[in-house]
Amino acid sequence: MSIDYTDRIPNNVSLSDDRRLQRALESWQPRFLQWWGEMGPTLPTQDVYLRTAVSVGREGWANFGRVKLPEYRWGIFLAERDQDRRIAFGQHKGKPVWQQVPGEHRAALQRLIVVQGDTEPASVEQQRRLGLTAPSLYDLRNLFQVNVEEGRHLWAMVYLLHAHFGRAGRDEAEALLQRHSGSDDSPRILGAFNEETPDWLSFFMFTYFTDRDGKYQLGTLKESAFDPLSRTCEFMLKEEAHHMFVGTTGIDRVVQRAAELMCEHDTDDVTPFGGISLAVIQKYLNFHYSVSLDLFGGETSTNVANYFTAGLKGRWQEERRDDDHVLTGAMTALPRPEGGRIVEAELPALTALNHDLRVAYIADCQTGVTRWNRILASHGISGPGLYLPHVGFNRQVGVFAGCHITPRGEVVDAATWQAGRPSWLPTPADKAHVESLMRPVYEPGKIAAWLAPPRNGINGQPLDYTYVRF
Ligand code: BYC
């Protein structure tokens, strides 16, 4: 079904057939716009070259054009419905999926949707000042693309809350605009979304590591027996791919520039030459990776076992798994700290599903690291290169919380950990250096000196295209 852009709220869910729902969402819309005005991008612009979905099919979901940011058409888009879709896992496996929320799963589904919804505006809030220091118009445009789509992902969750959870859902939709990233009084729900994203290296790390958690969480919600949630997440995943592209290629470009300066000046410390040294890149990587690992919840969780058994949240690529998809009685091995060592423990697979998802995520994260080391190798830089720190490093959630584990996976005492901290996580001096490089470059085709230019423009446009007009 194509998207109706004549409606105040563009949608492919026949919103005009349900007047009550339409009115409820139309009364939420001005509050969303007010939030966007107050908490969205701070940099004023005339228009931005953006992609907007005009239908969910292959041809229509990526239409490019110049858009005035406050007039972006945030809408409600669900992937096409598969009339024969059946539940793929858990105790209801094989039965038809649900178009309505079953009473007994109301609270749990609402919780999952609220947690997912809360992350979307949080990231816009975290990134709101980055427009003031973009390294090029190309990057600035990518930032705004990510921001408008996170705003649309908020709409996606708010639609589900309004359409399926009655008064409680409407209250939760309000609360999504009232919590704010980093607020003392009403912070965002998950840890990583209360951290700052003060500079573009952090932004690239965030879009590489934290948006990738989004990919994996959305992938599990796409398996949900609650079909509207599944279809919503399926479409969100398409948009999410570009966010991770921004992260992957952003870090590519920072690493490439570091490598060029290392060769040119025959040194590892490229700080005096306006680059970011590999040691600092590694520290930013360590921080964003470990904070993102926390987003998967505890290694053992009865919540996740209940979600799975009830059919609310599946596993990554559930239908490709070669097992019974019910997992009663299945066991799995996972690492945990014990008496100063890290050992493998056998646990019921059902309660270890957060760990299961994290394993797939970690393998995916590793592909970026391999790619960045390949860039270094292509400049003749061998040696240890960049790496993912140990899964227990710097963790606040799960079995490793409270432990002192080095990036290389040694269990150490608190004093040793504190002494090592400045070489593992960004120090005030590292942050000050990165911050000092953050100067806006807004001339078409020009690019800041701390990163390499992108390989290609957006949608076939040249690099010197005016992606943003002021
Ligand atoms: N910070 O049983 P446990 C994205 C809470 S990112 C604070 O171990 P569970 C995006 C937890 O809520 C994807 N609290 O974990 C990316 C629970 O509290 P309650 C977002 C945390 O429930 C970039 C308690 O601790 N989507 O889309 O199995 C830009 C015990 O937890 C944290 C989702 O997360 C934390 N890090 O799993 C934009 C999907 N971790 O319930 C967007 C929906 C845990 O006892 N959420 N807690 O009060 C979920 O599936 C699960 O709630 C979680 C946690 C995976 C988050």
pLDDT 10s digits, 222-242:
999 999 999 999 999 988 999
Distance 118 CA to ligand 1 centre (A): 10
Distance 296 CA to ligand 1 centre (A): 6
Is 123 close to ligand 1, i.e. is its CB under 6 Å away? yes
- Both structure tokens of 109: 């589904």
Is 234 close to ligand 1, i.e. is its CB under 6 Å away? no
Give the SS3 label for residue 63: strand
Question: Binning pLDDT at 50, 70 and 90, where does residue 374 land?
Answer: very high
Is 294 close to ligand 1, i.e. is its CB under 6 Å away? yes
Q: Is 33 in contact with 151 (CB distance < 8 Å)? A: no
Confidence (pTM):
0.96
Helix axes 137-164, 106-126, angle to 10 degrees: 160
- 402 or 7: which carries more pLDDT confidence? 402
Query: Whole-angstrom Cα distance, residue 239 to residue 151?
Result: 12
Q: Which of 115, 244, 246 to mutate to test the pocket of ligand 1 (most atoms within 8 A of CB)?
A: 115
Query: Whole-angstrom Cα distance, residue 260 to residue 4?
Result: 49
Distance 115 CA to ligand 1 centre (A): 7
Is 211 close to ligand 1, i.e. is its CB under 6 Å away? yes
pLDDT score for 187: 98
pLDDT score for 111: 98
Distance 397 CA to ligand 1 centre (A): 10
What are the phi and psi torsion angles at 218 (to 5°)? Answer: -65, -35
Is 361 close to ligand 1, i.e. is its CB under 6 Å away? no
Distance 389 CA to ligand 1 centre (A): 22
pLDDT beyond 80 at 2? no
Residue nearest to atom 26 of ligand 1 (CA): 116
Q: Is 78 in contact with 228 (CB distance < 8 Å)? A: yes
Distance 33 CA to ligand 1 centre (A): 27
- 60 or 432: which carries more pLDDT confidence? 432
Is 297 close to ligand 1, i.e. is its CB under 6 Å away? yes
Dihedral of alpha carbons 312, 313, 317, 322, sign: negative
pLDDT beyond 80 at 57? no
Q: Which of 112, 364, 397 to mutate to test the pocket of ligand 1 (most atoms within 8 A of CB)?
A: 397
pLDDT score for 5: 61
Q: Which residues of 21-53 are buried (b: 16+ CB within 10 A; e: fewer)?
A: bbebbeebeeebeebbeebbbebebebbbbbbb
Is 21 close to ligand 1, i.e. is its CB under 6 Å away? no
Torsion of CA 180, 184, 189, 194, to 10 degrees: 70
Q: How far is CA 112 from the centre of its chain?
A: 16
Q: Is 277 in contact with 269 (CB distance < 8 Å)? A: yes
Is 210 close to ligand 1, i.e. is its CB under 6 Å away? yes
**Cα–Cα–Cα angle for 16, 153, 136, rounded to 5 degrees:** 125
pLDDT score for 322: 94
Question: Binning pLDDT at 50, 70 and 90, where does residue 382 land?
Answer: confident
Q: What is the mean pLDDT of residues 209-215?
A: 98
Distance 340 CA to ligand 1 centre (A): 28
Q: Is 295 in contact with 196 (CB distance < 8 Å)? A: no
The residue whose two tokens read 């299961």 is 356
Residue nearest to atom 47 of ligand 1 (CA): 297
Residue nearest to atom 2 of ligand 1 (CA): 301
Give pLDDT tens digits for 276-319.
999 999 999 999 999 999 999 999 999 999 999 999 999 999 99
Average pLDDT, the chain: 95
Question: Binning pLDDT at 50, 70 and 90, where does residue 250 land?
Answer: very high
